[in-house]
Structure 1
Amino acid sequence: MLKRRHILTTALCAPFIGATSSLAREGWVLPEEYKPKIIKLAGDYPAGEIHVDPARFALYWTLEEGKAIQYTVGIGRGNLYESGTFSIGAKKEWPSWTPTQDMIEREPGQYKRFEDGMPGGPGNPLGARALYLFTPERGDTFLRIHGTPKPWTIASAVSNGCVRLTNSHIGHLYNQVQIGAKAVLH
């Protein structure tokens, strides 16, 4: 079983935190309440699942004995958050990113220049790691649980539908999640 010390040590020692990124907001420090913590769940959830509570900006990675690791996340803004039951269909380190056609149509000034994609790296919107959400009907839904080069945007509704964590937190989660794991966006 993971101990809180292991979680915090992993997060602090992660080589992909991105603190030196040119995108870093000067002086921003992760608030204590945004750090991962082990909690006792109110319901009965099997270990090895992801559950996102958009009202609390929280992602829960379920553990044995009715516990979970709670991470603070950013979610989709406005009507872009999509609830549902998904499975992790792919995992990528330093993933490349291409905005969806809907994103380009909504905000061409911001996204059109990236229509051919952006290679992975510290400035990429998907951050250090990404978990790809799939359904049997749609296959790849183009929804992701991913890192961000802008960690100050967690705990808010700012994304185009994806769930975002700090780069160190997605790194920790990524190492635990297996392909095929269930992910529920409530």
Structure 2
Amino acid sequence: MRIRTALTVLGLLSTIAITGCTTTSQADTKKTAAATPVAAPEPVKVATAKIFDDAYGPVTDAGYALPAIPIQKVNPKFRRQVVSYQTNEKPGTIIVNTKERFLYYVLGNGEAMRYGIGVGKDGFAWQGEAYVAWKQEWPTWHPPKEMAVRKPEIAKYVENGMGPSISNPLGARAMYLFNEKGQDTLFRIHGSPEWASIGTAASSGCIRMINQDVIDLYSHVRPGKETKVIVQQS
């Protein structure tokens, strides 16, 4: 298998207070699903290193300038790395372990790419099997109405959404999970500007990743029922 590396280390990322899963209208879903390419994912590139501390440098992506992550401040176990991982699931499967705060992308041959994640209360609300129905670069954030009640200052985003930016709570990428019946689980895997929340249980949100990590994972994921996602809560 091949492992795709990304970028270079330096700098600091400012954080924001707002975070959370997105609710998406049916119109938005159809529009985004239609816009999502279904080409085969990029091959994973081979590298001699197993840990990718050099993947967290500044990134310019689609015109947005992501700052570097001060990776030495992130617990080493939550940095992107290849680990031994025994599973009967086929390569390309995503396994989320919310208790351990890890997301595994199965590579096969007893290995997986492991990413650190942050888990919000919405991330503990669902478990089981799903698939990536669609994915989006630089998504628009629609906070849940319940969050807007708690934080009136974000109510304006419920209907119209918050547009893409480096401070958007969904970060640089989002992947939307549907169950086998084709129903939206309202469970998302997404980026986050709040790198310091990785490895923690945040106040809200689903499964958040460092933006540099979610960009890497996104490049390997092909929307469709063949991309199985297993969410484990224990």
- CA separation of 1:79 and 1:66: change in aligned 2, threshold 3 A: closer
Query: Mind listing any 5+ residue stretches in structure 2 that lack a counterpart?
Result: 4-46
1:73 aligned onto 2:117: yes
Q: State the secondary structure of the residue aligned to 2:99.
A: coil
**Number of equivalent positions:** 181
CA contact (8 A) 1:78 1:157 kept: no
Give the C-alpha shift of residue 135 in structure 1. 1.6
- CA separation of 1:10 and 1:176: change in aligned 2, threshold 3 A: farther
Moved more, 72-81 or 137-146: 72-81
Give the C-alpha shift of residue 161 in structure 1. 4.5
- Structure-1 separation of matches of 2:120 and 2:48: 28
The root-mean-square deviation of aligned C-alpha atoms, in Å, is 2.8
Query: Mind listing any 5+ residue stretches in structure 1 that lack a counterpart?
Result: none
- Determine which structure has more spread, i.e. the larger CA radius of gyration: 2
1:145 aligned onto 2:193: no
CA contact (8 A) 1:81 1:161 kept: no
* Residue of structure 2 in register with 1:114 after alignment: 157
| TM-score, scaled relative to structure 1 | 0.83
- CA separation of 1:127 and 1:79: change in aligned 2, threshold 3 A: closer
- Structure-2 separation of matches of 1:98 and 1:75: 18
1:100 aligned onto 2:134: no
CA contact (8 A) 2:59 2:67 kept: no
* Residue of structure 1 in register with 2:66 after alignment: 18
- Structure-1 separation of matches of 2:123 and 2:223: 28
Give the C-alpha shift of residue 83 in structure 1. 1.0
- Structure-1 separation of matches of 2:122 and 2:134: 26
* Residue of structure 2 in register with 1:171 after alignment: 215
Residue identity opposite 2:60 in structure 1: P
* Residue of structure 2 in register with 1:182 after alignment: 228
Q: Give per-residue Cα distances to partners, 1:77-121, cap 9 Å, x unaligned.
A: 28843112111011111100101233334x243542322310111
The alignment-based identity, stated in percent, is 29
| TM-score, scaled relative to structure 2 | 0.68
Give the C-alpha shift of residue 139 in structure 1. 2.4
Residue identity opposite 1:185 in structure 2: V
Q: State the secondary structure of the residue aligned to 1:38.
A: strand
- CA separation of 1:163 and 1:27: change in aligned 2, threshold 3 A: closer
Q: Give per-residue Cα distances to partners, 1:113-170, cap 9 Å, x unaligned.
A: 3223101111100000111111244622222101001111110111534101000000
Give the C-alpha shift of residue 42 in structure 1. 3.1
Q: Give per-residue Cα distances to partners, 1:22-50, cap 9 Å, x unaligned.
A: xx9x9983333321111111332211010
CA contact (8 A) 1:14 1:171 kept: no
